[in-house]
Amino acid sequence: MYWDAAVETLSAPQLEELQLQRLRAILRQAQQSPFYRQRLAEAGLNSDNLRSLGDLRRLPFTTKDDLRSRGLDMLTVPLTEMVRLHASSGTTGQATVIYYTRQDIATWADLVARSMYMTGVRPGDVFQNMMGYGLFTGGLGFHYGAERLGALTIPAGAGNSKRQVQLMRQFGTTCIHIIPSYALYLLSTFGEAGVDPLELPLRIAFVGAEPHSEDMRRRIEAAYGLKAYNSYGLSEMNGPGVAFECPEQNGMHVWEDAFLLEVIDPKSLKPVEPGVVGELVFTNLNRQGMPLLRYRTRDLASYDDTPCPCGRACKRLSRIQGRTDDMIILKGVNIFPLQIERVLMGMPEVHTNYLVELKRENFNDLMLVKVEVRESFFHEDLRYLTGLRKRVTEALKSELLVTPVVELVEPGTLPTTEGKAVRIVDYRNKG
Ligand code: DLL
């Protein structure tokens, strides 16, 4: 049941003790980097005078801007000792680069193996990795983890949908790693190929890398006949394998022996209570080449520190509600993309894709929501479609508190990507 019982069965106080030891060691390590040497000196903090985990709060946060401007100054070993680099997706500006030593790659692989094992993957499973291999961490991160675990790993990569279906049939794939929006899109390829995913031996899917709702998970589970586990990570903290769902599917356990978690109010920067949504801040506890201290992720979620029936004491994160930088402000109202998704994926008439366009007409902000409607509903009469359009508009309005313009479109007509879905296009400040 446990990949690393010595760590996974620690009680909360034991875990804290381990964190304190590791934090002292990582402060020593971080002092090898020009960036943190200066930061730690300015804060008057070092491994000898750190008494409790809370003492770390004396150190300022590390931000994405710090990484961009001072990234190379954060290395604690010479560049020649690094064996790999990855870069973040760069959806919000210039990409940030993370360097890994050989030991960092091994630690990361072990965390991913632990995550996969927790959901029931075992040697003998056939694991099809449908995430991009490259600068993105999703592909290689899971690849090394799956091999470490001992699963037969198919490095399928992203896209090439027909081939994905063919590989699943040919090799009897039992576990998949897939972007959730792509998992729904791939169903149309199954349809075209005349293959029913329910007849394949699929058991487990890992879905992550982008926000998705509980309804979306249930849709994936029902269509493929498997259990889908939410997986969270970010390149700045290795990649996938930071927080992962256990069989309870009730929040993602943060691997707290490797990452010290803080959840803060993004405005006051004070810690928030359990259950309150705040920004996630992580400190690497066992990364060698480029440990980041108090890194502000911009991701918003709440945490739960009550015991989990699975026996692991590690705190659980809620679904990521959005990012501090992807919040839409429309007519002064704050909207997170996940709110839109929750409404749409909760409606059985809605197919797998939608697109939100933000426009400005005559100095007035406008939200246009294009929604694919399932085949069987799309061919209903006009009166039905007018009624449906009204219902979608009302449902969105009551969640978002602004009235969108809804357009119903045929299934398969909106653009798709093989990577993270682009659901929102903001034309307001363009042209
Ligand atoms: O997306 C790492 C990853 C790969 C995670 C595969 C899970 C599976 P980046 O490209 O650096 O790394 O993007 C990180 O993606 O800060 C979140 O905003 C978002 N994200 C990642 N996982 C989830 C998730 C990878 N499960 C950024 N739910 C993060 C919601 C997620 N958002």
Q: The domain that contains 334 carries what CATH number?
A: 3.30.300.30
Q: Is 352 in the pocket of ligand 1 (CB under 6 A)?
A: no
Q: Is 181 in the pocket of ligand 1 (CB under 6 A)?
A: no
125/63 same-domain check? yes
381/309 same-domain check? no
pLDDT-above-90 percentage for the chain: 87
Among 292, 324, 356, which residue terminates a domain? 324
Distance 207 CA to ligand 1 centre (A): 10
268/382 same-domain check? no
Among 270, 293, 324, which residue terminates a domain? 324
303/354 same-domain check? no
Task: Kindly list the distances between the CA atom of residue 58 and the CA atoms of 42, 43, 44, 49, 341, in Å, as whole numbers in the listed order.
Answer: 10, 6, 8, 12, 39
Q: Is 318 contained in some domain?
A: yes
Q: Is 235 in the pocket of ligand 1 (CB under 6 A)?
A: yes
Residues in Cβ contact with 83 at an 8 Å cutoff, skipping those fewer than 6 apart? 100, 101, 102, 105
141/40 same-domain check? yes
CB burial class (10 A; 0-12, 13-18, 19+) of residue 234? buried
Task: Kindly list the distances between the CA atom of residue 111 and the CA atoms of 86, 201, 258, 363, in Å, as whole numbers in the listed order.
Answer: 17, 26, 9, 50
Q: Is 129 in the pocket of ligand 1 (CB under 6 A)?
A: no
The secondary structure of residue 220, as a DSSP letter, is H
277/343 same-domain check? no
Q: Is 342 contained in some domain?
A: yes
86/184 same-domain check? yes
* Ligand 1 atom showing the smallest separation from residue 297 Cα: 16
278/374 same-domain check? no
244/358 same-domain check? no
Distance CA 297, CA 263 (A): 10
Whether the CB-CB separation of 135 and 86 falls below 8 Å is answered with yes
Among 267, 289, 324, which residue terminates a domain? 324
Q: Is 257 contained in some domain?
A: yes
Whether the model clears a pTM of 0.75, i.e. scores above it, the answer is yes
pLDDT score at 238: 97
Q: Is 358 contained in some domain?
A: yes
Q: Which one, of 153, 193, 160, lies nearest residue 176 by Cα?
A: 153
Q: Is 334 contained in some domain?
A: yes
The domain that contains 119 carries what CATH number? 3.40.50.12780
Distance 86 CA to ligand 1 centre (A): 14
* Ligand 1 atom showing the smallest separation from residue 252 Cα: 26
Give the range of the structural domain holding residue 371, as residue numbers without chain letter.
328-426
Distance 234 CA to ligand 1 centre (A): 5
257/362 same-domain check? no
Q: Is 431 contained in some domain?
A: no
**Unique residue bearing structure tokens 């394998």:** 241
Distance 232 CA to ligand 1 centre (A): 5
155/297 same-domain check? yes
386/311 same-domain check? no
CB burial class (10 A; 0-12, 13-18, 19+) of residue 199? exposed
Tell me how many domains the chain contains. 2
pLDDT score at 336: 87
Which residues of the chain carry a pLDDT beneath 70? 89-93, 430-431
pLDDT score at 123: 98
pLDDT score at 93: 63
